[in-house]
Amino acid sequence: MAKEKFQPDIFLYENNKSAAQPIKDAIYSALGGGKDSSVRLTHIDSALVSAQHRERFYVTNFGDIEQPEDRGILLRDVLESGEDLSCRERAYTLTASYGGAVAWNTLERNQRTMVAEPIRIGTIESNVKNKLHDSKQYRVYSSDGKATTLCGQGGGVGAKTGLYVCPINEIDGKPIYTVRNGLITIKDKQYPVKLRDGYYIIRKLTPTECERLQTMPDGYTVAVSNSQRLRALGNGWTAEIIIHILNHALKDVPRDEELVVLSMYDGIATGRYCLDKMGFTNVKYYAYEIDPYPIKIAMSNYPNIIQCGDAFRVRDDDWKIPD
């Protein structure tokens, strides 16, 4: 509906790859897809440009979009803690899957044929009644792989980010866990893990690390609390994917030409940041968003955004962009 009323020269729509195929087909058709159309539906995993495994589909109206080049970024490349960040060369790509992966033995130099997957190494004890239940909040991953997808909602031990083990060389006031012979000891109980012998911490990712997973600048979301930062980032876009897509449509547009942008469900204004990073200096940006925390983040970075309120207003017969 917004597309029909706004009549944009170009558009970009994003959603989760896990959506059922009939839903994808309906969206594609509603946005003008079909024979002899320039509309395309493209699947891209953010793991190609970041340390996060995040599969999404994008619908655009400017022809084919090739996959981004794999940059080989792993989770340890974005950690801010500094614990044992050896083998940091970006030329390394992990060749591992969930089943049977041994994190310390899966790195190969200069390999670019695979996207690194999150390496799950174990599960910590949970208090759920059904012991067969294995929810994300209790799964533990290695920093030698990609991070799992950030979630806007979630609670429990690994809420929103997942849990990750980080090797350390000295005690620094954090809980220290010992790994010996493939077993990690937590609260006097042992659990099987695929890690070298040594000492580790298990922790959630920090807001800054999550900003890096979404390829946003450090501190971009600092205007709100940490929990709201994680929530907003989990609901957002991976900036470098959006830049990759928009470069196809805007590569020949002068950077000082006025762009009028309508962003529905704008969140933290990742789209505005992407245009800024691409060098566009004359952007009139209308944002529809009702969540006060993403709005606060957006306005703290781009005070000239024109906030328009509820996206459902586009359904009104007399709807138009504010003057």
In a domain, 276, yes or no: no
Domain membership of residue 114 (yes or no) is yes
List, in sequence order, every residue forming a beta bridge with 130; answer none if it has no partner: none
Confidence band for 295, pLDDT divided at 50, 70 and 90: very high
Question: Considering the domain boundaries, does residue 136 fall inside one?
Answer: yes
- Structural domain includes residue 68: no
Within a domain: residue 169? yes
Percentage of the chain modeled with pLDDT above 90: 46
The pLDDT mean for the chain works out to: 78
pLDDT digits (tens, 9 = 90+) for 176-215: 777 889 887 777 778 777 777 777 766 677 889 889 999 9
Q: Are 202 and 164 in contact (CB under 8 A)?
A: yes
* Cα–Cα distance for residue pair 319/172, rounded to 1 Å: 57
Q: Which residue has the tokens 């800024």?
A: 276
Q: What is the pLDDT of residues 11-55, one digit of tens each?
A: 999 999 999 999 999 999 999 998 889 999 999 999 999 988 889
Predicted confidence at residue 167, as pLDDT, reads: 58
Most confidently modeled range among 102-111, 167-176, 180-189: 180-189
Percent of the chain exceeding pLDDT 70 equals: 69
Asked if residue 175 belongs to a domain, the reply is yes
Put simply, whether the predicted model's pTM sits higher than 0.95 gets the answer no
- Look at residue 282 and tell me if it is in a domain: no
144: left (phi over 0), alpha (psi -120 to 50) or beta: alpha
Is residue 279 a part of any domain in this protein?
no
In the chain, how many domains are there?
1
Question: For the ranges 90-99, 199-208, 224-233, which has the lowest average pLDDT?
Answer: 90-99
Place of tokens 């009549």: 7
Do 43 and 62 meet the contact criterion of CB atoms below 8 Å apart?
no
Range of the domain at 85: 75-218
Q: How many CA atoms lie within 13 A of 298 on its CB side?
A: 28
pLDDT digits (tens, 9 = 90+) for 110-167: 332 233 334 455 565 555 545 444 555 556 666 566 666 666 555 555 555 666 666 5
CATH of the domain at 150: 3.90.120
Selection from 205, 214, 211 nearest residue 14 by Cα: 214
